[in-house]
Amino acid sequence: MKEKILKLINEQKLNDLKKYLETINSADFPSLFEELEEDKSLIVYRILPKEKAAEVFAELDSYMQERLINYLTDTELKSVVDELFFDDEVDLIEEMPSNVVKRILKTVKPEDRKVINELLAYPNDTAGTIMTTEFIDLKENMTVEDSFAKIREIGLDKETIYTCYVLTVDRKLIGVLNVKDLLIAEPSNLIKDIMNPNVITVSTLDDQEEVAKMFDKYNFMALPVVDKEQRLVGIVTIDDAIDVLQEEVQEDFEKMAAVIPNDESYFKTSVFKHARNRIVWLILLMLTSIITGGILDNYENAFVSLPILVSFVPLLMDTGGNCGSQTSTLVIRGFSQDEIKLKDFFRVWWKEIRVAVLVGIILAIVNTFRIFIQYGFDQSKLAIVVGLTLILVVILAKSLGCILPMLAKKLKLDPAIMASPLITTIVDSCSVYVYFQLAVLIFGL
């Protein structure tokens, strides 16, 4: 792709280049621009037809958008902005630095500015911020034929075509129908006779994640967004819903790894920002693990007189951490997939305790064999102490792995913060304490 484009540019065959570019999917341009030098990218971008140029622009990440805008004249910028969807325009305004925003707003038509300002006013992460304000609206007394005429007149685009919404005069949503329904109906049928009056809607202030999950559940192509008076104000399309699902998953992964979530991509994030996103939890967790150290301090006499005890501390800490992380991950994921609910608390806990007993006993047996092999059969006391601790630690870790995310959910916090790093640190202190208590008891130290 790159070679062919460079060849056409060098040979000044701009018409051939234009034709060739039309065969490339808009989503492939960002990686193309990354490979090309800046001046070549600009030639390619300027040669694109107006509509495609806007499509390509919407695919670029904010860093590339900003650089591109700096090269464009005001007229060029206006033609891009005019072609953008309102939701893409709003994204752009939210992400650009203020001097660029000023240039963009200058190019926006006065009548559009109102819509943009309204969209900008919705709180973060709500349906209002991801919806498109362009959609096909019909009236209930239109015929199928009228409807096709209206669809052609509004102009169609992949984002908005497949579902049509039926509104009253004061824009209240009373029905929905698919292009499919129109296609199989008689041209003279009335919309009110073929529409589906059972519309599933979301409100502008609904959480974007909940909205995105509805797409997964109902297999919708688009969902209507209504205001408090049931008036249709926009639609969320499936492509935006997928983006939200991906974003939320990424956020969960980062939170669960004790990283503060970050919208930017890995490479675009500076070293300082990476360090900042990671240091907060690291300091917090480091300070928490002082407790475990303190407990060890208390048993100084025990391990000075029986130093072998120390060599099992890593094994107990690691196993506890891993068991807690297994359970907390399953519970956190269960929440986010609506498979586990708060009311299931005792069901989950009971299940985890039974799993823990099974797993704990197996681990204890494996470890006993290992102690006998490594240290001989006279270390049966040691095997008992480590084995019992293992079983207790696994039960504790799996309990906390279930209780803490549930508690977070109950307190309306994100369960993902109760992921393995935090649970590990808590389980650590408990396991060290149980271990040395048992050792003191059984060895009579």
Site for a copy of itself in 197-236 (CB under 8 A): 198, 200, 215-219, 221
**In this structure, what token pair is assigned to residue 80?**
């891009």
Per rule CB under 8 A, is residue 275 in the interface with a copy of itself? Answer: yes
Between 289 and 308, how does the x/- string for binding to a copy of itself read (CB under 8 A)? xx-xxx-xx--x--xx--xx
For residue 164, the cross-strand partners are: 136, 177
Per rule CB under 8 A, is residue 272 in the interface with a copy of itself? Answer: yes
Per rule CB under 8 A, is residue 257 in the interface with a copy of itself? Answer: yes
Q: Coil, strand or helix: which one is 343?
A: helix
Q: Compute φ and ψ for 87, nearest 5 degrees.
A: -70, -35
> What number of other Cβ atoms are within 10 A of residue 33's Cβ?
21
Q: Which residues in 378-407 contact a copy of itself (CB under 8 A)?
A: none
CB nearer to a copy of itself: pick between 113 and 341:
341
Q: How far is CA 359 from CA 15, 242, 388, 397, in A?
A: 69, 38, 12, 12
Between 58 and 97, how does the x/- string for binding to a copy of itself read (CB under 8 A)? ----------------------------------------
Closest approach of a copy of itself to the CB of residue 168, in Å:
20
Q: Which residues in 138-167 contact a copy of itself (CB under 8 A)?
A: 148, 151-152, 156-158, 161-162
CA distance 258 to 420: 9
Which of 285, 384, 388, 407 is close enough to bind a copy of itself by CB under 8 A? Answer: 285
Between 7 and 46, how does the x/- string for binding to a copy of itself read (CB under 8 A)? ----------------xxx-x-------------------
Closest approach of a copy of itself to the CB of residue 276, in Å:
9
Print burial letters for 218-246: b (CB count within 10 Å at least 16), e (below 16): eebbbbbbbeeeeebbbbbbbebbeebbe
How many residues make contact with a copy of itself (CB under 8 A)? 108
Q: Which residues in 357-376 contact a copy of itself (CB under 8 A)?
A: 358-359, 362-363, 366-367, 370, 374
CB nearer to a copy of itself: pick between 77 and 416:
416
Q: What is the DSSP string of 127-145?
A: HHHH-BS--EEE-TT-BHH
For residue 443, the cross-strand partners are: none
CB 370 within 8 A of CB 397: no
Dihedral sign computed on CA atoms, order 416, 417, 421, 422? negative
Q: Strands 222-226 and 232-237: what pairing?
A: antiparallel
Closest approach of a copy of itself to the CB of residue 319, in Å:
5
